[in-house]
């Protein structure tokens, strides 16, 4: 493993530095990278900036950017990484060479290619970018994110965060489509009923030059045993089920 990326948006502030140090010790030789949250509401920004300042003061240099605001949150000017080791998540869309090169010019050492891209375009980008590009092969990408709680809407009111028991809700459309809504600290994430999963296409990705693969265990409640089993299978280049390949097998635009 090159990185263990920790979503900073999900971590409570109290004892943050100490908990990350303990996690780094458990992760072994794979260094931690701190992932900035993509969505930062106005009421969250002050606390997030405080956490970032504390972590930078503690010597954390490896960060993952998720949006245009990420540079500002880190106190950076695009193009000057300030001595930090920066990567970008797929939400900073790199779907052509110009976008990828621009991110690199802004100080990003490795870009993550879009999970909405198609096979031919991904292969072309991998041929151009080589080890400077990573490919997500397993993820529960939100279909949308909302501050409106579906459970409270159905129940006719909100009991408050301290008394809330809502963790997840399965939805079925009139056409039979299924989705999953999960609650993360009063923010609702709607997910596909199965993960984005390119494990059936690992051989073609390797032939196209992909060498850096990413596996995301976010939003869906994975047990440690389940996450471990998926991770080990993917490292053995095995096909895992269930899942869908998104736009990967569609024709180029």
Residues 182-200: tens digit of each pLDDT: 998 889 999 999 999 999 9
Whether the CB-CB separation of 134 and 212 falls below 8 Å is answered with yes
**For residue 6, pLDDT beyond 80:** yes
The SS3 assignment for 231 reads helix
pLDDT score of 176: 87
Q: How confident is the model at residue 163, as a pLDDT? A: 87
The fraction of the chain above a pLDDT of 70, given in percent, is 99
Model-level pTM greater than 0.75?
A: yes
Residue/partner pairs of 160-166 with CB below 8 Å, 24 or more apart? 161/185, 161/186
How many angstroms separate the Cα of 159 from the Cα of each of 88, 156, 163, 164? 38, 10, 6, 6
- What is the DSSP code (8-state) at residue 244? B
DSSP 201: G
Q: Are residues 22 and 79 in the same domain?
A: yes
Q: Looking at the structure, do residues 200 and 181 belong to the same domain, yes or no?
A: no
Q: Based on the fold, state whether residues 172 and 107 are members of the same structural domain.
A: no
> Residues 193-215: what's their mean pLDDT?
94
Specify whether 168 is located in the same domain as 210: no
Q: What is the mean pLDDT of residues 12-32?
A: 85
**Do 117 and 8 fall within a single domain?**
yes
pLDDT in tens, 229-243: 999 999 999 999 999
Question: Which domain, by its residues, includes 212?
Answer: 4-136+195-235
Strand duo 187-192 + 142-146: pairing? antiparallel
Verify that 9 and 77 share a domain, yes or no: yes
240 versus 15: the higher-pLDDT residue is 240
Return mean pLDDT, the chain.
92
Q: Are residues 149 and 131 in the same domain?
A: no
Q: Are residues 215 and 117 in the same domain?
A: yes
Higher pLDDT, 154 or 91: 91
Residue 89's pLDDT is 97
The rounded distance, in Å, linking the Cα atoms of 166 and 101 is 43
């Amino acid at each position: 493993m090159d990185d263990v990326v920790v979503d900073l948006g999900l971590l409570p502030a109290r004892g943050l530095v100490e908990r990350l140090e303990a996690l780094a010790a458990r992760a072994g030789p794979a260094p931690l990278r701190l992932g900035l949250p993509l969505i930062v509401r106005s009421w969250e920004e002050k606390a997030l900036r405080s956490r970032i300042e504390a972590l930078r003061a503690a010597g954390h240099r490896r960060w993952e950017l998720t949006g245009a605001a990420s540079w500002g949150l880190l106190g950076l000017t695009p193009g000057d990484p300030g001595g930090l080791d920066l990567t970008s998540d797929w939400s900073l869309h790199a779907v052509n060479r110009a976008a990828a090169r621009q991110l690199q010019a802004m100080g990003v050492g490795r870009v993550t290619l879009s999970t909405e891209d198609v096979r031919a375009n991904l292969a072309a980008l991998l041929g151009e970018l080589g080890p400077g590009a990573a490919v997500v092969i397993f993820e529960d990408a939100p279909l949308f994110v909302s501050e409106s709680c579906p459970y409270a809407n159905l129940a006719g009111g909100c009991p408050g965060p301290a008394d809330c028991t809502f963790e997840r809700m399965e939805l079925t459309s009139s056409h039979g489509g299924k989705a999953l809504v999960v609650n993360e600290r009063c923010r609702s994430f709607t997910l596909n009923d199965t993960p984005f999963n390119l494990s059936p296409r690992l051989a073609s990705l390797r032939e196209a030059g992909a060498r850096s693969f990413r596996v995301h265990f976010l939003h869906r409640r994975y047990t440690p045993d389940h996450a471990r089993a998926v991770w080990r299978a993917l490292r053995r280049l095995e096909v895992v089920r269930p899942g869908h390949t998104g736009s990967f097998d569609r024709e180029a635009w």
